[in-house]
Amino acid sequence: MNMHRPIDETTMAVPFDDAVSPRRRWLRPLLIVVAILVVAGIAWALLGRGKKPDAAPAAAVLPTVTVVIPGQRAVADQITATGSIAARHDSVVGVNGEGGLVTAVLVDAGQTVRKGQVLARIDSSVQAQQVASMTAGVRSAKADAALAQSNLDRAAKLVDKGFISKADIDLKTATRDGMNAKVRVAEAQAGEMQARMARLDVRAPAAGLVLMRNVETGQIVGSGSNNLFRIAEDGILEMRALVAEQDMGRLKVGLPATVRPVGSSTDYHGRIWLLDPVIDAGSRQGVARIALAYAPGLRVGAFANASVAAGAATRPVLPQSAVMVDDTGSFVYVIGADGVVVKRPVKVGSVTIEGMSITSGLNGTERVVESAGAFLQPGEKVKPVVASDTGAN
């Protein structure tokens, strides 16, 4: 029978192969994935080993900046100040009398005058008539007094003859004395009117330089017109220099000073004649008054700079390239111990070919940026290199 036919070996192998093939199909992809992971791990280990963050190289490269250590040097102690030009003694000239119509102005600004010189004349026609009238009254009173004296003298000669009584003599004596008194009254009144008329002339109270003229011919002036002229007595001007409180103690009366008005290239020399005893509580400044002889380039009210030679001092000296200026004043860049740039306000003293002396803000031991400060910013970290020559440019 067919059921006893032998089984073919190839036919029997098919069911066995179908049973194991799914396992083989999963094993091969798994091995591929494992191989890829191993290769990726090896590559990461080889390429990433020792690699630093990107910021590290940038932080390690610092800009190099040349610095100077100024130390302390003996320099001329120059105290600088600003202020305005004024008259040392400013006299305001006005009307001394009743006033009236100005008939003539005899001087102008810039002229020198002597004490008592007439600066302007005021119409005195009315006062002149009054003076003439009073002068005539004086002559009349004197005539009456002379007549009274003559009557008394004649009466005195008749007393001994009995024609005139003693009472009449007394009466004539009193009349004579009254007339003499009237003469003195008339003379006083005439003198008063003459003085009033003389006061109509506007006169210089002192010799000096006319600074201002505020009157013209034809103008009506009165007793309240007190600013017709301004005169600098003796022609002496002054600069009222505003000096910092800490510098006032180093100044003395008599020290020489140099004054230069703003916009001028001319220096004017003078000396301190007065140091005001009061320090302004708000600005912490005092006033040093520098006497100046008048010169055409000195104008009252003009702003000026002053430099006073106050002896010698020991101070840090920097090259001019190290000092910068902004809206707040002068400053320098100082490199701290950690290499960080710090902005330091300073006050500049005298300026010479050796450099700029620093009166405050530095003690001389700091590392100050010599130049190129405009390219730095406060808080920036740099590599400071001390210059071989720390002298000023």
pLDDT number for residue 244: 87
Q: Show the CA angle centred on residue 124, arms to residues 123 and 126, nearest 5°.
A: 120
Question: How large a percentage of the chain has pLDDT more than 70?
Answer: 84
The average confidence (pLDDT) of the chain is 82
159 CB-near residues (< 8 Å, 6+ apart) = 165, 166, 169
* Tokens 């140091």 belong to residue: 275
pLDDT number for residue 290: 95
Q: Which is nearest to 241 in space by CA: 281, 295, 201, 291?
A: 291
pLDDT number for residue 17: 47
The domain defined by 89-120+203-233 folds into: OB fold (Dihydrolipoamide Acetyltransferase, E2P) (2.40.50)
pLDDT number for residue 56: 46
Question: How large a percentage of the chain has pLDDT more than 90?
Answer: 22
From CA 86, how far away is CA 77, in angstroms rounded?
Answer: 26
The domain defined by 64-75+315-386 folds into: 2.40.420
Entry pTM: 0.52
pLDDT in tens, 330-366: 999 999 889 899 999 998 877 777 788 888 889 889 9
Domain ranges of the chain: 2-48, 64-75+315-386, 81-88+235-312, 89-120+203-233, 124-199
pLDDT number for residue 15: 47
Residue 223 pLDDT exceeds 90: no
H or E segment and range at residue 159:
helix 125-159
Question: What does the pLDDT average to over 40-50?
Answer: 63
From CA 225, how far away is CA 101, in angstroms rounded?
Answer: 12
From CA 233, how far away is CA 116, in angstroms rounded?
Answer: 13
Residue 220 pLDDT exceeds 50: yes
pLDDT number for residue 238: 93
Q: Show the CA angle centred on residue 299, arms to residues 250 and 85, nearest 5°.
A: 25
Pairing of strands 202-203, 118-122: antiparallel
Q: How confident is the model at residue 16 (pLDDT cuts 50, 70, 90)?
A: very low
Question: What does the pLDDT average to over 104-112?
Answer: 89
pLDDT in tens, 17-32: 444 455 556 666 767 7
Q: State the maximum Cα–Cα separation within the chain, in Å, rounded to a whole number.
A: 230
Cβ atoms of residues 99 and 225 within 8 Å: yes
From CA 263, how far away is CA 2, in angstroms rounded?
Answer: 137
pLDDT in tens, 320-330: 889 998 888 89
pLDDT number for residue 113: 92
Q: How confident is the model at residue 392 (pLDDT cuts 50, 70, 90)?
A: very low
Residue 275 pLDDT exceeds 90: yes
pLDDT number for residue 393: 40
Of the segments 18-32, 92-106, 225-239, 260-274, which one has the largest average pLDDT value?
260-274
Q: How confident is the model at residue 170 (pLDDT cuts 50, 70, 90)?
A: confident
- CATH no., domain 124-199: 1.10.287
Question: What does the pLDDT average to over 140-163?
Answer: 82
Cβ atoms of residues 93 and 229 within 8 Å: yes
Does 362 or 56 have the greater pLDDT score? 362
Residue 315 pLDDT exceeds 80: yes
Q: How confident is the model at residue 48 (pLDDT cuts 50, 70, 90)?
A: low
- CATH no., domain 81-88+235-312: 2.40.30.170
pLDDT in tens, 293-314: 888 888 888 999 998 887 777 8
